[in-house]
Amino acid sequence: MLSGKDVNVGDIVKMKKAHPCGSDEWEITRTGMDFGMKCCGCGHFVMLARTKFEKAAKAVVKSAAAEK
């Protein structure tokens, strides 16, 4: 499980289940009690509760902090 504290806005996260478009990578657009995520495949926007996000996220694929 990935902790919500390990994720920042702009990070690309790999989820356990793929989106119906086929992509399993999501860009984080908002953090807090809810996480806003945009699908890297089709651009669909989803809001997830922190508890559901922490259970569903596998790993940070690309960190926004590393690009700075």
Mean pLDDT to the nearest integer, 7-33: 94
Report pLDDT digits (tens) over 46-64: 999 999 999 999 999 998 8
Has residue 44 got a pLDDT over 70? yes
pTM above 0.85, yes or no: yes
DSSP labels for 1-55? ---GGG--TT-EEEESS--TTS--EEEEEE-SSEEEEEETTT--EEEEEHHHHHH
Instruction: Measure Cα distances from 50 to 40, 41, 54 in Å.
Output: 20, 22, 6
Which 3 state secondary structure label does DSSP give 67? Answer: helix
Contact of 13 with 60, CB cutoff 8 Å = yes
